[in-house]
Amino acid sequence: MPRTALVLLLVSVLVLAQAGQLASALAAGLPPGCQVFSGAKLFINNQQVFPDVPLLNHSGRTLVPMRIVGETLGAEVEWDPVGYAAIVTTPSRRIVMPIGSAVATVNGVDVPLDAPSVLYQSRTLVPLRFVAESMGCDVGWDPGTLTASVVSPTARFTGFSLDLLPECAVLRVATDGSVPYSVKTLADPPRLIVDLEGTMPGVDWSEQAVGQALISRVRVAVTETPIQMTRVICDLSEAVRFSHRPASEGSGVEVQVYYKVSGVRWEDGGVSIACSGPAQSRTFTLPSPDRYIVDLPGATLTGGAGSIDVNSDGIQRIRWAQFQSNPDIVRVVIDVAEPIAFQVQPTATGLRVARQATIAKVDYESTPDGGRLKLQAGPGASAQAVVAADGRQLRLEVAGAETPGIGTVSVRDGLVDSYEILANGAGVDGFAVILKLTGYVSHRIATSQAGLITLDIDCSPLTGKKIVLDPGHGGIDPGCTSYSGVYEKNVNWPVAVMLRERLLRAGAHVQMTRNGDESINAYGRVDVANNWGADVYVSIHCNAHVQRTISGTEVWHYGDKPASLRLAQLMINQLTKLGMVNRGVKKGNYAVLRETTMPAVLVELGFLSNPGDEKILLNPANQAKAADLMFEALKAYFR
Q: What DSSP letter does each residue of 293-338 carry, written as one string?
A: EEEEET-EESS--EEEEEEETTEEEEEEEEEETTTTEEEEEEEESS
- The per-residue pLDDT for 156 is 83
The reply to whether 187 and 296 lie within a common domain is no
| Residue 345 sits in the same domain as residue 363 | no
Instruction: Indicate whether 122 and 162 sit together in one domain.
Output: no
Together in a domain, 235 and 264: no
The pLDDT assigned to 14 comes to 40
Domain harbouring 378, CATH code: 2.60.40.3470
Is pLDDT of 235 > 70?
yes
Give SS3 for 370: strand
Which whole number is the average pLDDT over 402-413?
84
- Same domain, yes or no: 481 and 593: yes
Answer yes or no: do 503 and 598 share one domain. Answer: yes
Task: Please say which residue of 424, 442, 458 terminates a domain.
Answer: 458
- Report the range of poorest mean pLDDT among 123-127, 393-397, 600-604, 605-609: 123-127
Q: Is the pLDDT of residue 205 over 90?
A: no
Q: How far out from the chain centre does Cα 626 lie?
A: 23
Cβ-defined contacts of 29-32 (< 8 Å, 24+): 29/120, 29/121, 30/56, 30/120, 31/56, 31/58, 31/118, 31/119, 31/120
Q: Mind listing the pLDDT tens digit for each residue in 492-520?
A: 999 999 999 999 999 999 999 999 999 99
Return the axis-axis angle of helices 3-11 and 128-135, rounded to nearest 10°. 160
Co-location of 170 and 247 in the same domain: yes
Residue by residue, DSSP assigns 261-276 as: EEEEEEETTEEEEEES
Query: Is the same domain home to 477 and 620?
Result: yes
Q: What is the span of the domain harbouring residue 68?
A: 3-151
**Last residue of some domain: 428, 458, 488?**
458
- Asked if residue 571 and residue 500 are part of one domain, the reply reads yes
Cβ atoms 536, 561 nearer than 8 A = no
Contact present, 255 and 173 (Cβ < 8 Å): yes
Identify the pLDDT of residue 324.
92
Q: Examine the domain organization and report whether 429 and 500 are in the same domain.
A: no
Q: How many domains does the chain have?
A: 5
Point out the domain boundary residue: 324, 355, 386: 355
- Catalytic residue annotation: 604
Q: Are residues 43 and 141 in the same domain?
A: yes
Tell me, yes or no, whether 596 and 473 share the same domain: yes
Return the CATH number at 335: 2.60.40.3500
What does the pLDDT look like over 337-372, one tens digit per residue? 998 888 888 887 889 898 776 665 789 999 998 999
